[in-house]
Structures are given as structure tokens and as C-alpha cells.
Amino acid sequence: MAAMPRNDLLLFAGFTLAVLTMPIWLAPFGAAYPDLLQRFMIFGIFAVGFNILFGLTGYLSFGHAAFFGVGSYAAVWSFKLLSLDVIPAMIFAIIVSGLFALVIGYISLRRSGIYFSILTLAFAQMSYNMAYSVLTPITNGETGLQLTQSDPRHLDSALAATVVGQPIPTLLGQSLGGFSGFYFCAGFLIIAFFLAQRITGSPFGMMLKGIKTNQTRMHYTGFNTKPYTLAAFVISGMYAGLAGALLAVTDPLAGAERMQWTASGEVVLMTILGGAGTLVGPVIGAWLIKYFENIFSAINDGILRRFFDFLPDGVDSAMVTVASKFVGEGWFLTLGLVFVIIVIFLPGGIMEGVRRIAHLFNRAPKAPGKANPQPQPAE
């Protein structure tokens, strides 16, 4: 394995530092508590993996929540059947979701464009419905899959480890509550980011970009693109499975709602909001959406009424009525609006915004005499 290029190394170091210090720099935003931080990590991993398929290869999957859900179920089954330790659960979840992605990817990738998207959506909805119906012995249906005192845990019992009280996942005997849970997930996000960075900068990553830009040319250049797209699909499915497994670690009640199409749509939004095809963009998109979801879904009418209290009577209740549609359960409406605005004005997502601003700053000192940094259109 060759050394990493300098710029990549800097980016990786900066990313690692930013992630590990999140409990500090997110404190002023009121977001520095473990539960939310863990979700930042988990959905960051989900988005980084999704970007390998969508951002690099150009295949828009609308069904990736299925792999997330499968990862969750697999992890919980590992807790039940093997051990409460998280390491076997992670490995098991990644393998199972990878195999699941191999099958769904193999079939869906027979088509491209919108037909591919529809196929992935159909498979994910099928999985979701099956989790509630024929697969209830595996998923425990609407109740969700839970850990119980009487689970066999063959590995643990072989090692004569006993559990007192409600069983919870552990890492080498240590509980993963609070900040240790955050650092556990953060470790995985950092590894996930590192691998994505290597893939992006590899010849394999270049082929994925080639497929996104001009698949026809790839064929006439001598590439069999099918195994490339399938590999990208399986890798991103494994990322999703890992993220799902981590969610099962922090919240070991796996339910089928994790596989619903809204969850698949959310990771698409995260990736596009942050900037599809960039490395950090999808992570930032995931963080922003989870942060604002946390704020907006907690707002209720009481809070709104106090907020608009300064307005005259009548006006304030009208404002409360309108605003209440966008908060709480209506958070998806806000998300949809933000998404529309981003796609229209910043199709490259937040990373494009950052690039544009950086561009302005880079130019300004070099050409102080020129008032207008934009090139003048020809008459």
C-alpha cells in the first residue's frame, strides 16, 4: 500500500480531529450529548457509503435503508445468538448486509437510470413489508426485535459470561453507554471515511467516475462495467449495514421502520445536500439533517406560542398555526423545502457553496483593482 498523497493526509487528519472534538465544538449549539452525537456518526457512515454508489458511480438507489435495516437485525441476532459483544455483531452485520446487497444489486443493476432507482425502491419496500409479514419469526414484526434475559448467546455461555438484569451490548465487557458509545461510533466513522478516501483516490475509484461520466466510453475502452457497479453497490450496502448495526448497539431494539422508503430517501437528501461525489459533503449533510431534525421535531405548539407572543392577538395565533405545520411531525415539510432550495440554487450542495466562497476569497487579494470578480459576459 503506497503512502497517501499530502492533501489526502491533511483532509483525513482534519476530519479525524473535527470528529473527535465534536463534544467540545458542538457544545455551544446544544448538540454535544452522546445520543445525538452517536446519530451523527451513524448517519455519517451511512451517507459516506451511499456516496460511493451515488456520488462516484452515478447510480441513484432509493432502497439503501433495506441494507441499514438488515444490518440492524443482523446485529441484534448476533447479540441474541452469539454474544453481547459488539465486535462479532459488527462483523456479522457487515457480512449479511453485503450478501443481501449482492443479490439485490445483481438484479437491480441489470438496468440503469430511473429503472435502476425504481428496482431498488421496489426491493426495499418488499423487504419492509416482509419484515412485517412473512418474516416476523426473524424480525418480530411490529414489536421489533429485542434482547431478553433468556437469549441463548452461545459464545457468551461457552465463556461462562453471565448477564445480570436487562442485557445490553458491550465491548470487551465494557458498557457502551454515554460518551464511550460516541467514541466507539466515531472510530467507525473515521475508518469508514478513510476507506472511502482510499477508494476515491484509487484506480478503481477512477473507473467508477468514468462509469458515471460516460459508461458507453468505458465499454469501448475495454472495461466490463458490471462488476465495477456491483462492487460499488455491495460496498455501499456494507456501509449501510455497518451503520444499521451501530444503531442497534446504541438502541438494541431493531424495528422495520428503519427500512422504510422515507429512510432511504433521507440518505439521498443527506448526500445531495452536502454535495454528492465529494468526500466530506455527505457527512456534513448527514450532520445537518440530523441536527435540525432534532431541533425541529422537538418544537411543539406551546413553544411556538411563546415565541410569537410579542405579536398582536390574532396575528400570533395565525403565525403559530402556519409555523406548526413545519415543526414536530411536520419536520419533513421543512426538509423538503430546504432540499428544493438547495437543488435549485446550489445543485452541487453545501460543498459547492464552500468552493464558491473560497473562490471569491482566493481572487479578491490577487485582483484588488477589479470590483467585479465575475467574468464579464460578452456583449
Q: Would you tell me which residues interact with another protein (CB under 8 A)?
A: 1-5, 198-199, 201-207, 209-210, 212-214, 216-225, 227-228, 231
Question: What is the helix (H) or strand (E) element at residue 160, kind and residue range?
Answer: none
**Minimum CB distance to another protein smaller for 162 or for 224:** 224
What is residue 4's three-state secondary structure? coil
Burial class (CB in 10 A: 0-12, 13-18, 19+), 7: exposed
Shortest distance, CB of residue 227 to another protein, whole angstroms? 5
**Minimum CB distance to another protein smaller for 9 or for 360:** 9
**Minimum CB distance to another protein smaller for 13 or for 138:** 13
| Among 262, 266, 256, CA closest to 69 | 256
Shortest distance, CB of residue 363 to another protein, whole angstroms? 18
Please give the Cα distance from 378 to 157 (Å, whole number). Answer: 78
Name residue 85's beta-bridge partners.
Answer: 170
| Amino acid identity, position 305 | R
What is residue 42's three-state secondary structure? helix
DSSP label at residue 258? G
**Minimum CB distance to another protein smaller for 154 or for 226:** 226
Q: What would the grid cell of residue 202 be?
A: 484509487
Tell me the backbone φ, ψ of residue 373, rounded to 5 degrees: -75, -15
**Minimum CB distance to another protein smaller for 23 or for 201:** 201
Q: Are strands 174-175 and 170-171 parallel, antiparallel or unpaired?
A: antiparallel
**Minimum CB distance to another protein smaller for 58 or for 63:** 58
Shortest distance, CB of residue 370 to another protein, whole angstroms? 23
Q: Is the CB of residue 275 less than 8 Å from the CB of residue 264?
A: no
Shortest distance, CB of residue 378 to another protein, whole angstroms? 16
Please give the Cα distance from 66 to 72 (Å, whole number). Answer: 10
Shortest distance, CB of residue 21 to another protein, whole angstroms? 28
**Minimum CB distance to another protein smaller for 190 or for 231:** 231
**Minimum CB distance to another protein smaller for 244 or for 348:** 348
DSSP label at residue 52? I
What is residue 173's three-state secondary structure? coil
Within its chain, how far is the Cα of 144 from the centroid?
A: 22
Shortest distance, CB of residue 202 to another protein, whole angstroms? 5
Shortest distance, CB of residue 238 to another protein, whole angstroms? 13
Q: Could you identify the residue written with the cell 451515488?
A: 54
Please give the Cα distance from 237 to 63 (Å, whole number). Answer: 10
Q: What would the grid cell of residue 311 be?
A: 405579536
Shortest distance, CB of residue 235 to another protein, whole angstroms? 8
**Minimum CB distance to another protein smaller for 163 or for 199:** 199
What is residue 3's three-state secondary structure? coil
CA distances from 179 to 41, 187, 228 (A): 12, 12, 38
Shortest distance, CB of residue 8 to another protein, whole angstroms? 8
Shortest distance, CB of residue 232 to another protein, whole angstroms? 10
Please give the Cα distance from 332 to 313 (Å, whole number). Answer: 29
**Minimum CB distance to another protein smaller for 194 or for 261:** 194
